[in-house]
Amino acid sequence: MSDLTRLTAAELAEKIHAGEVSAAETTQAHLDRIAAVDDDVHAFLHVDAEGALEAARAVDAGIAAGTAPASPLAGVPLALKDVLTTRGVPTTCGSKTLEGWLPPYDATVTRRLRDAGVPILGKTNMDEFAMGSSTENSAYGPTRNPWDLDRIPGGSGGGSSASLAAYEAPLAIGTDTGGSIRQPAAVTATVGVKPTYGGVSRYGLVAFSSSLDQAGPCGRTVLDAALLHEVIAGHDPMDATSIDAPVPAVVDAAREGARGDLSGVRVGVVRELSGEGYQGGVLRSFEAAVAQLKELGAEVVEVSCPNFTYALPAYYLIAPSECSSNLARFDAMRYGLRVADDGNHSAEEVMSLTREEGFGAEVKRRVMLGTYALSSGYYDAYYGSAQKVRTLITRDFTAAFEQVDVLVSPTTPVTPFKLGEKVDDPLAMYLNDICSIPANLAGNAAMSVPSGLSDEDGLPVGLQIMAPALADDRLYRVGAAYETARGPVLDKLGELEAAK
């Protein structure tokens, strides 16, 4: 393995910008790594070697000509979740419906990456239309967790998290509707951030649940995630829900945090996000993380958010309702799959047969659930009540943030489970999101940072940090301080592999 794939994005950027290594050789090293391991990991649905190398060579030409790099990450390659459109490069969302589709435009996130000189290695695997917690709902087969190839890499963004843990990419983009950045980060010992809702443009992010969807940065370190955060965040007139406010200074916050002093920071442990249903090793790892935060000088108190126990049911009404409406666009008429267009079927029959063939079981379940929850006679009891719970959860957060600066919990209740273990039990699968959903419903910022390995099975555990909307910088300060004190976790996987 080339050493370049072992470096952080910040280290790579420094070497590339100093002319010590070229962006092209850095990109090639990662393409070689993908070629070597991705048959096993299956993090990528599409590798765009030519496009990535072309972008890298443009960065190298600029450096040779003495022009300043387009961004602090210019030349550092990245893996992009296949739910963000890429002009002329396949975008499937893990669905058969979009097999072979070449988007005619770039998502704003994609365009910002290109403008920043970030070579895009390829598109990463995901649960179909971002619905799932394991990538097993991908129409193209699951991604495997580099820690144990028989286990899930999390979902929906399991391809992005696995690409980082397998050293196929130093940076990745995910999207988080109910935990799809944070849960994959937790189970692979990588870092994932769901920015404040509206912090990163949704233009070109294929919609699942528009009031919850949020793209965000993934990396192996908190600083790398911060550097990427600043590249992709910021106001975009193409997204009506994009926040027109300055991007929080997350890179400065990460650097400040890395100095290891959290005195004056108030941390709240959420009482409702622990206990029954949580794996012992996860809870012990969490308790150790809280103790470490105290050692760093933070003032730790317990806080209660009583309505958080209603977040999961509210989410599984709101998200399916919005998805049933959003996925109506896949009608077999303007793009995507069309079947049974043989002259013997009407447009409506073609539509129904195409959607039957093009969607997988979980997407169908959620579309029907949403159709039910929104239908006359059931609306008040289901969707209407879920919207009220959303109000109560937001109130819980507001009250909690009057007492503390950030909230912490485990990111997931359990370590990564075996592929196939929960795929036929939707409710068991949904429980993976129990800790991550509240932040989506309230639109807050949240991060998962590795908190070590569970003492009972040796598998990764994540610490979740939550901050108020527009206070994303607090995540990075606390996350970086904790990361520095805790020491690297992913290195243990490298040691395991090197010992083989």
Partner 1 sequence: MSNISRDEVAHLAKLARMAVTEEELDTFAGQLDQILDAVAKVGEVAGDDIPPTSHAAALTNVFRTDEVRPGLSQDEALAGAPAAEEGRFRVPRILGEQQ
For residues 281 and 454, is the Cβ–Cβ distance under 8 A? yes
Does the protein bind partner 1 through residue 496 (CB under 8 A)? no
Site for partner 1 in 452-491 (CB under 8 A): 469
C-beta closer to partner 1: residue 267 or 389: 389
Site for partner 1 in 243-262 (CB under 8 A): 243
Does the protein bind partner 1 through residue 336 (CB under 8 A)? yes
* Segment near partner 1 (CB under 8 A); pick from 50-58, 147-155, 181-189, 370-378: 370-378
Does the protein bind partner 1 through residue 365 (CB under 8 A)? yes
CB of 394 to partner 1, least distance (A): 6
The answer for 204, left when phi > 0, alpha when psi is -120 to 50, beta otherwise, is left
Query: The tokens of 412 are what?
Result: 């997931």
Residue 15 catalytic? no
C-beta closer to partner 1: residue 58 or 323: 323
SS3 breakdown of the chain: % helix, strand, coil, rounded to 5?
Answer: 45, 15, 40
Instruction: Give yes or no for a cis peptide into 156 (omega within 30° of 0).
Output: yes
Residue 294 catalytic? no
What type of residue is 432?
Answer: N
* Segment near partner 1 (CB under 8 A); pick from 77-85, 134-142, 226-234, 361-369: 361-369
Site for partner 1 in 420-459 (CB under 8 A): 426-427, 430, 441-443
- Residue appearing with tokens 């370049």: 4
C-beta closer to partner 1: residue 289 or 317: 317
* Segment near partner 1 (CB under 8 A); pick from 44-52, 130-138, 151-159, 240-248: 240-248
Name the active-site residue from 95, 134, 161, 180. 180
Q: How far apart are CA 21 and CA 53, in angstroms?
A: 14
C-beta closer to partner 1: residue 93 or 337: 337
Which has the closest alpha carbon to 131: 379, 454, 360, 466?
A: 360
For partner 1, which residue of 138, 177, 324, 411 counts as binding (CB under 8 A)?
324
Residue 2 catalytic? no
CB of 203 to partner 1, least distance (A): 13
What type of residue is 124?
Answer: T
DSSP 266: E
For partner 1, which residue of 35, 61, 64, 102 counts as binding (CB under 8 A)?
102
Site for partner 1 in 285-314 (CB under 8 A): 307, 310, 313-314
CB of 447 to partner 1, least distance (A): 17
Residues 6+ apart with CB under 8 A from 445: 193, 194, 195, 196, 199, 439, 466, 467, 468, 469, 470, 471, 472, 474, 475
Q: How far apart are CA 81 and CA 204, in angstroms?
A: 12
Q: Tell me how crowded residue 234 is: count the other CB atoms within 10 A of its CB.
A: 17
* Segment near partner 1 (CB under 8 A); pick from 96-104, 148-156, 182-190, 288-296: 96-104
Give the length of the chain. Answer: 500
Instruction: Describe the strand order of the beta sheet including 120-124 as a list of residue ranges.
Output: 44-47, 120-124, 78-81, 171-175, 215-219, 191-194, 445-453, 460-467, 406-410, 266-270, 299-303
Does the protein bind partner 1 through residue 399 (CB under 8 A)? no
Does the protein bind partner 1 through residue 108 (CB under 8 A)? no
CA 332 vs CA 18, 155, 335, 348, 396: distances in Å? 50, 27, 6, 10, 43
* Segment near partner 1 (CB under 8 A); pick from 74-82, 148-156, 297-305, 366-374: 366-374
How far the first Cα of the chain sits from its last, in Å, is 13
C-beta closer to partner 1: residue 243 or 480: 243
Q: How far apart are CA 283 and CA 186, in angstroms?
A: 13
Does the protein bind partner 1 through residue 348 (CB under 8 A)? yes
Does the protein bind partner 1 through residue 375 (CB under 8 A)? yes
For partner 1, which residue of 271, 338, 486, 492 counts as binding (CB under 8 A)?
338
Site for partner 1 in 130-189 (CB under 8 A): none
C-beta closer to partner 1: residue 170 or 248: 248
C-beta closer to partner 1: residue 2 or 385: 385
C-beta closer to partner 1: residue 2 or 371: 371
Cβ burial of 262 (10 Å; 0-12, 13-18, 19+) is buried
Does the protein bind partner 1 through residue 381 (CB under 8 A)? yes
Name the active-site residue from 81, 96, 123, 422. 81
Q: How far apart are CA 72 and CA 430, in angstroms?
A: 38
φ, ψ for residue 229, nearest 5 deg: -55, -45
Name the active-site residue from 71, 95, 133, 156. 156
CB of 194 to partner 1, least distance (A): 12
User: Which helix (H) or strand (E) covers residue 47, if one does?
Assistant: strand 44-47
Does the protein bind partner 1 through residue 20 (CB under 8 A)? no
C-beta closer to partner 1: residue 334 or 500: 334
Catalytic residues: 81, 156, 180
